[in-house]
Amino acid sequence: MRLLERLWGKNPYRKSDKKKKGTSNYAYAVTRVRAMKSKLLPKETYPRLLNMGIDEITRFIQESEYKNDVDELAMKYSGGDLAEHALNRNLALTYDKLLRITSGELNYLITAYLRRYDIWNVKTLLRGKIYNASVEDILESLISAGEFTYTFLSELAAKATYQEVIDTLKETDYYPLLQEFDGTNLAYIENELDKMYYSSLFAAIGKPRSKDRKLFARFIKLEVDVKNLSNLFRLKKAGVEKSDDIMPLMIEGGLELKPEKLASLPYEQFIDELRKTQYWDAISSVAGLETASLTIVESRLIRYYLESATTYSHVSPISIVPIMDYIIHKNNEVSNLRIIFRGKEASLDDTLIKDQLVVI
Amino acid sequence: MVGEELVGGPFLDADGMKALGAALAITVTGLASAWAEKEIGTAAIGAMAENEGLFGKGLILTVIPETIVIFGLVVALLINSA
């Protein structure tokens, strides 16, 4: 009898806890996401796209996975704007779909991850309001993939000043930080928002006990490393070598890099130190002393990040990793297409556009 | 032998034991293949939701664990006929 009591619940919370958490149904979510990943544009597409004009690219996109989005928005916008809106809309809908097809822990972790788009939107809104961008221009850059809905974001975009935007965000977690914003310290606020995102993400993961959370934590740490590393490259190139200047810009919680150690080193020693890390193989051919272009280093790093996500998704096939892998690959595809569009619009040289693309 | 006092006793004779063994063989394999098919079935549905062309492959993969219960059935029949 005591055994039965223990099983069925002297503790009234036990059952409800379990119910709330739910199961994650990995088999379904992961295969569906893998099928979605197979529909991403193959790498052979990009050279072809580079040879096309803007209208041709729009037509190409209209015939691909972005068809519905282009069709729906074609009445309102045209040219590059149409593509930009369609891409953003598609990204938001795709991520929304991921949230719909997952449940339990998987859903919880993805929701936490996608809050980055809330941060992105808040940043865009503040920037737009400071530089007096038109509502249309701001709307163009908003991606409603996080917790804020598109309607709410449009309302925010229609506000007259940044102060009103901040006041409307009173109920959110970002408000205490946003209060510090006085119209001049945008860079500081943006950095702090990013840091806040990562610390809240690590808080959401908690002390990783389940296999999923461990993999997810590792994944995020790798991303933090890649971000820190590209920032370090930029800073070192610009000749910033004081640890006090660099450390406030670094995100805590990386996997392998130790920013506090790397920050004070001059460029050559910094490179020597990097040789010991797993990132060296990815950037060794371009990170020599005489390299001029940071974009190539950065795109190599992003490529390394994407590739290692794919490798991990093969190592742990029934876990959160294939889904994260899809999320970042989709994001990469959208940003590639955006680069091509904007590059073509500004009539940049094809090689210049090509350097910016991260093609896997 | 363990259970010797049961065999030939008032509760269970040799035929009863055989019947129980056969029942076990079919029950356990039935549950096992159900569990396996559940996993594969949900995965197949997930893939099909994105790409309808995978229906054929999904169907075949889903029924492959059915072999487990067929083996169970064969064993059950063998036990019964022995």
CATH number, domain containing residue B20 = 1.20.20.10
- Mutate which of B42, B45, B55, B57 to test chain A, going by most A C-beta atoms within 10 A? B42
| Residue B2 belongs to some domain of the structure | no
Q: What is the pLDDT of residues A232-291, one digit of tens each?
A: 888 888 877 777 778 888 888 888 888 888 878 887 788 888 888 888 888 877 776 565
| Residue B46 belongs to some domain of the structure | yes
| Residue B71 belongs to some domain of the structure | yes
Which chain A residues are Cβ-neighbours of B51 within 8 angstroms?
A: 35, 38-39
DSSP three-state, residue B7: strand
Output the six-digit token pair for A346.
Answer: 């500004």
Query: Are B54 and A35 in contact (CB < 8 Å)?
Result: yes
Which chain B residues are Cβ-neighbours of A25 within 8 angstroms?
A: 42
Flag whether pLDDT at A85 surpasses 90: no
List of residues 6+ apart from B24 with CB closer than 8 A: none
Query: Are B46 and A38 in contact (CB < 8 Å)?
Result: no
Output the six-digit token pair for A167.
Answer: 């006041």
Residues making up chain A, counted from first to last: 360
Flag whether pLDDT at A5 surpasses 60: no
Question: What ipTM was reported for this prediction?
Answer: 0.78
- What pLDDT score does A16 carry? 39
Which chain B residues are Cβ-neighbours of A36 within 8 angstroms?
A: 50
> What is the chain B residue with the closest CA to A98?
B46
- What pLDDT score does B78 carry? 95
B47 touches chain A (CB under 8 A): yes
Domains in chain B, number: 1
Query: Are A35 and B44 in contact (CB < 8 Å)?
Result: no
What rounded mean pLDDT belongs to chain A? 84
Q: Determine whether A242 is exposed, middle or buried from the number of CB atoms within 10 Å of its CB (0-12, 13-18, 19+).
A: exposed
Which chain A residues are Cβ-neighbours of B49 within 8 angstroms?
A: 32, 35
- What pLDDT score does A134 carry? 87
Flag whether pLDDT at A228 surpasses 50: yes
A36 touches chain B (CB under 8 A): yes
- What pLDDT score does A13 carry? 41
Per the structure, the complete domain to which residue B62 belongs is given by 14-81
Query: Are A31 and B46 in contact (CB < 8 Å)?
Result: yes
Residue of A169, A107, A111 lying closest to A145 (CA atoms) = A111
- Range A176-184 average pLDDT: 83
Which chain A residues are Cβ-neighbours of B44 within 8 angstroms?
A: 31
pLDDT (tens, 9 = 90+) of chain B, 82 residues, equals 566 665 556 677 888 889 999 999 999 999 999 999 999 999 999 999 998 999 999 999 999 999 999 999 999 999 988 7
- Mutate which of A24, A25, A26, A28 to test chain B, going by most B C-beta atoms within 10 A? A28
Angle at A114 between CA A218 and CA A107, to 5 degrees: 80
- What pLDDT score does B70 carry? 95
| Residue B4 belongs to some domain of the structure | no
Which chain A residues are Cβ-neighbours of B47 within 8 angstroms?
A: 31-32, 34-35
**Cα separation, A13 vs A4, whole angstroms:** 16
DSSP three-state, residue B12: strand
A37 touches chain B (CB under 8 A): no
Output the six-digit token pair for A149.
Answer: 């809905």
| Residue B42 belongs to some domain of the structure | yes
H or E stretch covering A46: helix A45-50
Which of B42, B49, B54 is nearest residue A27 as measured by Cβ atoms? B42
Confidence of residue A17 (pLDDT cuts 50, 70, 90): very low
Residue of A138, A118, A185, A128 lying closest to A161 (CA atoms) = A128
Which chain A residues are Cβ-neighbours of B39 within 8 angstroms?
A: 27
**Cα separation, A248 vs A260, whole angstroms:** 10
> What global pTM score does this model have?
0.85
| Residue B1 belongs to some domain of the structure | no
Note whether A226 and A300 are within 8 A (CB). no
- What pLDDT score does A305 carry? 92
Confidence of residue A18 (pLDDT cuts 50, 70, 90): very low
Flag whether pLDDT at A9 surpasses 80: no
Note whether A80 and A342 are within 8 A (CB). yes
Residues making up chain B, counted from first to last: 82
Output the six-digit token pair for A321.
Answer: 């990793």
Shortest Cα distance from A39 to chain B (angstroms)?
9
B39 touches chain A (CB under 8 A): yes
| Residue B5 belongs to some domain of the structure | no
| Residue B28 belongs to some domain of the structure | yes
